[in-house]
Structure 1
């Protein structure tokens, strides 16, 4: 059983199975083509994604753009019921009602006026291998296509595997477990003739985009959050923070490689959390402290600097809304000779005090700072550390159980990257880590050193023995 919740797509393995895909009907596609232009601009997250995709396309590069959520179900899939379920899901969430078009330098949004025009159809393609399945997933239409999403199953004698391949344009990591629970619950209710789980109505992603743009229009260089962002960039020579170890490349863009492993089981993770609480911090503060200790150990750095993503959803309704609602929090603090308890407290305070900066898109900050000589026009590169716990709000205990029982996991396709990224996921099994870094020997050796040291710092904090790793996945 796979135990890591975020994996590169090429890691998918399994015996041959019968593949069925759901895609929009011809009539649905025609309705989408006729959708009028909407006054709602893309969110900053969407616009950056679309422009990055176009830049990759022009350079003939692949882009890591797909979020593929996968889970298992018993028995034989009722294709008619699943057709109803995926159609209802797409009608329910208005982010899927949009498609985007370039008009000169601008990107405009088209929106389907009648969600009932969306109708999915199934197509059974026969038996496929793991590699065949990966290729079908990779064929999910691009973010400039309306239907940049696909749903499917892999049927075996013992049961079937469900998957949803959704371009990042329409989803983020926060809603992945909820997406699985919604589809799973509605499917079971349709089969049993029962009322589905009361999930509550979702919010509108179009409203999120409009509200974000309205706030941005009122934001200036005098805004306190913008000033904090610019000060952070100043401290990093006008750009995002750099990774502590050699990466074997000088440019900001490179083909990404991945490693993943489970670093703390649930018992050790509980002990780690207790150590964080004893220091006046939560887990995120403790992990940032361990990362700071790791950089001090490996590179002698006396100051830690990183960005960490967080959701910009602010209401229960928003957490039921499929879309891309993520900002980043700039973290930096002095490490010096401090030990974990003090560093965890400092890191937690740093995170809490700057959490509001996530509501100011970094793309907006760079637009406003374009005339400042000390800020680079494109703050690319850098290092990101992300933490998500599926066991606590906004993800409920019920959703965590569903995720665990369904053997839920997430895959991302390989492509170009502009930063080193470290994702840490906490589930009922403990803490897992996935990292993306440049695909070369120097970066690979650096990342393996980094992960081993970070794991050691976490385990020492928890008072656990440090295991010897014989293999780290690539």
Structure 2
């Protein structure tokens, strides 16, 4: 469905930019929004504290999710104004804004969604670098209006984009944002009645339920015990990348590498190899990562965290918001083969999936003072996998996304560790990685990517003849 790219990779011919921002009356209504006792989600709270820390160090933060696709014809600004306004009214995460009071995060809620009204601003012709600057000017997460929508109009069509602070969105939002905006826009153009999109869930309810569960969680709970044991096995911290990344105390801007790992037929063979081992693709990819670390760093034990959605209902999968936890993965590698490791990794993932519902920040709160857990154990290496052909995405949405040339960008931030995103698309398997922008980390990352790609291809090789024989006359 998509690849994740840094914002500075955006390119394209000059176009006429229109940007949608809240009206002055909407901004005033938000400013007067009363304080609510509802706490932010753990995801939001960590994000807001991290943003403030970056701000105090005068550092950039990778905080924007920028979703982009192409549309034919000339954009009708009145219709699009109606559509983006309706989107913001429909999803209640956009009705909140936050401030700091005595070190605590306080929520304000705009109680009347009808007070939200977006207005278009025609900004004239812009080049790619000008567009990037406008996107980067999306307000910070402590501002209510930390979102922007816009189009780039050309003679033969227009590019639609949404720039949303991570405070209000995660990767799952990609699955329905384009579908919701496109279908609603076309319905307005065709003069149809209000589009029946299916009732979304409430992100405010998600936050409340998460905090309610957290209040009932104790240090003795088995999920917390397993998290603490995982941290203990990593010297009290999240796992670190296996290869050198430069001086740990130095802080660097993030640098990105993007590689197509496997073409579609080879990825089919890789998935078949996983299934033959009793695993799914995520188990096979974790096995390949473990084999890569064994090859390059001689590690006999693999350790990583992998993010997953914490949405649990059909309504939740139609809800804009940040609903993500991480699954702690670690297992012995020794001299095991790919099939053995794929099954072990899959069992590890499945057995620990419920740990994603326990925020790591909650674990650290409960474990404060324990000698086995470091005081700042967050961060660490992350490996993420998204398959566009399974829920919450679908082959239909993937085809629509591909036909519309959909893509996702993130702005540049600071990287102290490594983040790896793997995407299974209709074209195969791609990898995007973020790492510290220095020569040591760059060399390490390029070695890692090459070895990881080799491990994936080797796993697929055994079943490739099956695919190369398809359609051959016998």
In the alignment, which of 383, 386, 400 is matched to residue 384 of structure 2? Answer: 386
1:471 match: none
Deviation per residue, 1:343-402 (Å, 9 max, x gap): 000000000000000000000000111110121111134200000011111223332222
Cα distance in 2, alignment partners of residues 195 and 314 from structure 1:
30
Q: TM-score of the superposition, structure 2-length normalised? A: 0.96
Q: Does 1:19 align with 2:17?
A: yes
Q: Which residue of 2 aligns with 1:125?
A: 123
Please give the residue correspondences for 1:100-249 in structure 2 after superposition, counting only pairs within 5 Å: 100-194=98-192, 198-249=196-247
Written as runs of structure 1 = structure 2, the 5 A alignment for 1:399-418 is: 399-418=397-416
Partner of 2:28: 30
Give the superposition deviation at 1:196: 7.0
1:394-445 deviation per Cα after TM superposition (whole angstroms, max 9, x unaligned)? 2233322221221111000001134310000111111111100000011001
Q: Please give the alpha-carbon distance, in whole angstroms, between the structure 2 residues aligned to 1:425 and 1:248.
A: 28
Rounded Cα–Cα distance in structure 2 between residues aligned with 1:215 and 1:59: 34
Q: Match for residue 444 of structure 1?
A: 442
- Is residue 4–residue 432 contact of structure 1 (8 Å, CA) maintained in 2? no
Alignment-derived partner of residue 96 in structure 1: 94
Residue 253 of structure 1: CA displacement? 4.5
User: Could you say which residue in structure 2 is the equivalent of 1:463?
Assistant: 461
1:320 equivalent in structure 2:
318
The correspondence for 2:394, drawn from 393, 396, 412, is: 396
Q: How many residues align?
A: 464
Partners of 2:250 and 2:33 in 1: CA distance:
38
Name the counterpart of 1:355.
Answer: 353
CA distance in 2, matches of 1:84, 1:265: 41
**Contact 2:416/2:436 (<8 A) preserved:** no
Q: Report what 2:291 is aligned to.
A: 293
CA distance in 2, matches of 1:347, 1:200: 36
User: Quick check: 1:15–1:129 contact (8 Å CA) kept in 2?
Assistant: yes
Root-mean-square deviation (Å): 1.5
- Give the Cα separation in 2 of the matches to 1:413 and 1:174: 18
Secondary structure of the residue aligned to 1:172 is coil
Instruction: Name 1:329's counterpart in structure 2.
Output: 327
> Alpha-carbon deviations, 1:227-265, whole Å to 9, x = none?
000000000000010101010121384321111121111
Alpha-carbon shift at residue 465 of structure 1 (Å): 12
- The answer to whether the Cα contact below 8 Å between 1:20 and 1:126 also exists between their aligned partners in 2 is yes
Q: Which residue of 2 aligns with 1:339?
A: 337
Greater shift after overlay, 247-256 or 127-136? 247-256
Once structures 1 and 2 are overlaid, which stretch shifts more, 134-143 or 195-204? 195-204
CA contact (8 A) 2:252 2:438 kept: no
Residue of structure 1 equivalent to 2:470: none
Q: Is the 8 A contact 2:62 2:410 kept in 1?
A: yes
Deviation at 1:194, TM superposition (A): 3.3
Judge conservation of contact 2:273–2:463 (CA < 8 Å) in 1: no
Distance in 2 (CA, whole Å) between partners of 1:411 and 1:44 is 24
Asked whether the equivalents of residues 459 and 465 of structure 1 are also in contact (C-alpha less than 8 Å), the reply is: no
Secondary structure, counterpart of 1:173 in structure 2:
coil
SS at match of 2:172: helix
Take 2:321 and 2:29, find their aligned partners in 1: how far apart are those partners? Answer: 22
What SS does structure 2 have at the residue aligned with 1:76? coil
* Deviation per residue, 1:301-349 (Å, 9 max, x gap): 0000000000000011100000000000000000000011010000000
